[in-house]
Amino acid sequence: MSRRHSVNYAASPLLASRTPVWRSKFIVAAVALGFLALAARATYVQVVHSHFFIRQGEVRFVRTLELPANRGRLLDRNGLILASSVPAASLWAIPEDVDGDQPAVRAKLRQMAQLIDMPLSRLMAKFADEDKTFVWIQRQLDWDLGQKIMALGIKGIYLRKEYRREYPEGESAAHIVGFTNVEDHGQEGMELAFDKDLAGKPGSLRVIKDGRGRVVEGVGTEVPPVDGRDIQLSVDSKVQFFAYQKLRDTVIANKAKGGSVVVLDAHTGEVLALANYPSYDPGDRRRLTGEQLRNRALTDTFEPGSTMKPITIGTALELGRVRPDTVIDTSPGKFALAGFTISDTHNYGVLTVDGVIQKSSNIGALKVAQRMSPQEMWTVHAALGYGQKPHIAFPGAASGRLRPWKSWKPIEQATMAYGYGLSASLFQMAHSYTVFANDGKVIPATMLKIGEPPAGTQVFSARTAAQVRHMLWLAAGPGGTGQKAQTVGYSVGGKSGTARKQVGKSYATGKYRAWFTGMAPIDNPRIIVAVMVDEPSAGSYYGGTVSGPVFSEVVQQTLRLMNVAPDMAVKPLIVANPIEEPTL
């Protein structure tokens, strides 16, 4: 039988002693003060200074995600796409979460590097970056490729949906559409000119993220993005492609440095084509050079040479100083003025004013200019847009140079008569010829498709414009300097120009720019085409023989695409031995 032991707790000295009352009160007071301190702290945190702690919490866990807007499209005049946005995958990583030392992860990273065409060493170097919480791996990959990479299931690798621009017309329309950067902001061309309209407005969504950057839940109201609006250009993509193709072939065949073509609708001033060579692919700019990027038709200015003679003659006709049948003696083919000798390529003898344009006589043009004052010539040049930045929605358009008339010396007025002493872009030259195509009115040029023809500014009378058009027709016909500009089925008129290139303060030997500017059909012009080839070096360098054929083919193709009926029998008027035009 077990023996039960009992403990007399009351016999313990510790328990038997009486606890002082102050000690109990102290403990109760301490507990109460603790609760009061906690309550005060809670009030401070949640009421008095709550905004600070809320902000600190948001800094650590709340993020505002930008919801990208879909950039608007660039369309040609017929609704064909010149630039559009497609979904793209941009890969990013949290480096501290990517365990590249594990063999299985390393193998997946190797597959990923192969898919994005990046050396594995370079990929691993990204994870060694100082920022351990975020690093871009590759942006704007094909969406399907991004999905393949995410299917690998690599911890720490994430995908963000963005948009990438695509340019279906490639090189042919590059200098018109331009391009955007990786952030989808316009950098060149119409992408830059209408960036605000195309970009739209991004939306936003506030979310809570965990420590690994993953979205846990959304907070607040989602602000949806507003997509950019489409912009319809005046350009005809078919005309643009054909013009670019013919220009490219001509530049290569003539071993030239480059060239440009501008095609305008003579009735509306709409730009149907604006091509340059060399060009580039706006969707692949990895090897882009400055030569390729230059929009020569708008940014490069040159002395236009003989293409200015119709403007000189038109001014004199308008002022009544000459008539088309006024006789001008150009003998003996040389003219001395202020210590300079001005020459024609031949001694043309006695010419009518019509003949001055047909034969492209420098001496004839300067003798007509001498019947006018510098102010009278300057006023017409300025009215046609020379020396002024073109009023066109396009970045980088050059203004050229037209010196104040008060500073003109007699020799300068004489050289101005045949296109030296001023500078202009090919676009300005094409635009100025609208005055001859519209009964003496120069009309605004535009890169956007418009409904109604704009009101022009009357510079010449309709009679003067018709007289100059007849002279341009003669210049492009038998006996003229632009016979290779003739087009099967359509009457054409135009003026060639061969300007020596200026290097420093003097003219370079053997370096020329070949121009041809004209219109068709000649009695009721529908288009104006201007062509420039820079430094042709394969033998011929005259505007009529180098640029004239480009003009011919572009005119014929464009008028057919516009459904303009032929106005003459299908019989080419090209002769075997064209007359060469004069140069300085």
Question: Between 490 and 55, where is the model more confident?
Answer: 490
pLDDT digits (tens, 9 = 90+) for 255-304: 999 999 999 999 999 999 999 999 999 988 888 888 899 999 999 999 99
Q: For the residues 509-516, what does the mean pLDDT come to?
A: 89
> 28 lies in a domain?
no
Residues 83 and 186 in one domain: yes
Domain boundary among 232, 251, 284: 232
> 73 lies in a domain?
yes
Question: Between 45 and 393, where is the model more confident?
Answer: 393
Domain count, the chain: 2
pLDDT of residue 16: 62
80, amino acid identity: L
DSSP-derived 3-state class of residue 326: coil
> 40 lies in a domain?
no
505, amino acid identity: K
Catalytic residue (choose from 234, 237, 260, 306)? 306
> 566 lies in a domain?
no
Residues 421 and 321 in one domain: yes
Half-sphere exposure (Cβ direction) of 524: Cα atoms closer than 13 Å: 6
Residues 301 and 260 in one domain: yes
- Residues 130 and 304: their CA atoms lie apart, in Å, by 57
pLDDT digits (tens, 9 = 90+) for 141-199: 888 898 899 889 888 888 888 888 999 999 999 999 999 988 889 999 999 999 999 99
Q: Write the burial class of residue 192 (CB in 10 Å: 0-12 exposed, 13-18 middle, 19+ buried).
A: middle
- Rounded-to-10 torsion of CA 413, 418, 424, 425: 180
Pairing of strands 179-180, 157-166: unpaired
The DSSP letter of residue 320 is: T
Q: What are phi and psi of 165, to 5 degrees?
A: -85, 140
Domain boundary among 198, 232, 266: 232
* The dihedral sign for the CA sequence 261, 497, 491, 571: negative
- Residues 412 and 410: their CA atoms lie apart, in Å, by 5
Residues sharing a CB contact under 8 Å with residue 464, sequence separation 6 or more, in sequence order:
314, 317, 318, 440
pLDDT class of 438 with cuts at 50, 70, 90: very high
248 pLDDT more than 50? yes
Q: Mean pLDDT across the chain, nearest whole number?
A: 88
- Residues 12 and 25: their CA atoms lie apart, in Å, by 24
Residues 226 and 266 in one domain: no
> 531 lies in a domain?
yes
pLDDT of residue 399: 94
CA distances (Å), origin 246, targets 92, 277, 574? 45, 10, 19
Specify whether the CB–CB gap between 259 and 277 falls below 8 A: yes
Residues 296 and 387 in one domain: yes
DSSP-derived 3-state class of residue 27: helix
Please identify which residue in the block is written with the tokens 């704007």: 140
* The dihedral sign for the CA sequence 314, 318, 323, 328: negative
Centre a 10 Å sphere on the Cβ of residue 77 and count the other Cβ atoms it contains: 19
Residues 219 and 194 in one domain: yes
Residues 366 and 412 in one domain: yes
Domain boundary among 232, 259, 289: 232
Q: For the residues 413-424, what does the mean pLDDT come to?
A: 93
394, amino acid identity: F
Q: Domain of 327: which CATH number?
A: 3.40.710.10
> 54 lies in a domain?
no
Q: What are phi and psi of 500, to 5 degrees?
A: -70, 140
Please identify which residue in the block is written with the tokens 């003898």: 349
> 503 lies in a domain?
yes
1 pLDDT more than 50? no
Residues 202 and 301 in one domain: no
Residues 222 and 271 in one domain: no
Structure tokens at 482: 């632009």
Q: What are phi and psi of 518, to 5 degrees?
A: -165, -170
Residues 156 and 250 in one domain: no
Residues sharing a CB contact under 8 Å with residue 486, sequence separation 6 or more, in sequence order:
476, 477, 492, 552, 572, 573, 574
Of 303, 311, 581, nearest to 436 by C-alpha is: 311
- Residues 472 and 494: their CA atoms lie apart, in Å, by 5
CA distances (Å), origin 371, targets 43, 331, 377? 95, 18, 10
- Residues 394 and 451: their CA atoms lie apart, in Å, by 20
Specify whether the CB–CB gap between 454 and 269 falls below 8 A: yes
Q: What are phi and psi of 219, to 5 degrees?
A: -130, 145
pLDDT class of 130 with cuts at 50, 70, 90: low
pLDDT digits (tens, 9 = 90+) for 77-109: 999 999 998 888 888 888 888 887 888 888 989
Active site residue 90: no
Specify whether the CB–CB gap between 74 and 191 falls below 8 A: yes
Half-sphere exposure (Cβ direction) of 421: Cα atoms closer than 13 Å: 21
Q: Which domain holds residue 170?
A: 65-112+127-232
Structure tokens at 454: 């704009």
> Which of 54-63, 326-335, 486-495 bottoms out in mean pLDDT, i.e. has the lowest?
54-63
31 pLDDT more than 50? yes
Residues 241 and 173 in one domain: no
Residues sharing a CB contact under 8 Å with residue 352, sequence separation 6 or more, in sequence order:
324, 325, 326, 327, 328
- Residues 388 and 560: their CA atoms lie apart, in Å, by 34
Q: For the residues 194-208, what does the mean pLDDT come to?
A: 84
Residues 206 and 276 in one domain: no
Judge if pTM exceeds 0.75.
yes
Q: What are phi and psi of 514, to 5 degrees?
A: -100, 125
Q: What are phi and psi of 520, to 5 degrees?
A: -165, 155
> 41 lies in a domain?
no
pLDDT class of 131 with cuts at 50, 70, 90: low
Structure tokens at 160: 């963000």
Q: Domain of 95: which CATH number?
A: 3.90.1310.10
